[in-house]
Amino acid sequence: MPAVRLAIMRLLAKLQVPDIEFGKLEGIVRQDVSLSYKLLRLINSAFYARPTEIKSIRQALTLLGIRQLQAWLTLLVLSRIEDKPHELFTTAMVRAKMCELLTVALKGHSAETGFMIGLFSVLDALLDLSLEEVLTWLPLAEEVTCALLHYEGILGAILRCVLAYERGDWEAACCPGLEPKAIRGAYLESLDWASEVNSLLES
């Protein structure tokens, strides 16, 4: 694996440690100036509309919580892969947001878990490795791994639905308990969200 991607994989693995401690996550971010800068820019953007500026990683952790911060950091780390078409990263963002919205609608898992499922579904294309190989690097819960590799459980059904919608396979783009209108709305909202995040990262 090229050195840059190896560094990215190692950083991703550190970020996915289950029940990571507050201090450890803060330390990972503080050691990476670029990551800290981009994270604070996102948190102080219109996404959160904070009345006062967030000036430190500790403040960000306190306000957002570890899980939400892990999701943002994972997204920012993947944005560093530069030798791939930008459209692929945009696809990752749309999938992540759509999986998050559908997960919340079905009330099966946390929003952050849904987000990660969508984001990680593009890791094979981003890193030029099979998904099986990539997941051996990451300390993920078994249900997350099974959803990504075999589309098992609620999370797997959500991911299958999102991928089908992306392909325009309307018959397969369904989720038990969700109306087609809700799935379409989640997709459109995800496109808008990905466009906003792209603008922030590029400015």
Instruction: For 15-55, give the DSSP string.
Output: HT-TT--HHHHHHHHHT-HHHHHHHHHHHTSTTT--SS---
Taking a C-beta distance cutoff of 8 angstroms, is the pair 98, 118 a contact?
A: yes
Amino acid at 65: G
CA–CA separation, 64 and 29 (whole Å): 15
CA triple 111-103-51, angle to 5 deg: 35
Domain range list for the chain: 3-202
Interval 39-60: pLDDT, tens: 888 888 766 667 778 888 888 8
Interval 158-176: pLDDT, tens: 999 999 999 999 999 999 8
Residue 138 phi/psi, 5-degree rounding, is: -105, 130
Query: How much of the chain, in percent, has pLDDT values that exceed 90?
Result: 49
Give the CA distances from residue 22 to residues 33, 43, 57, 73, in Å, rounded to whole numbers and listed in that order: 18, 18, 11, 14
Instruction: Tell me: pLDDT of 150 over 80.
Output: yes
Where does 3-202 sit in CATH, by number?
Answer: 1.10.3210.10
Taking a C-beta distance cutoff of 8 angstroms, is the pair 166, 95 a contact?
A: yes
Predicted local distance difference test score (pLDDT) of residue 168: 95
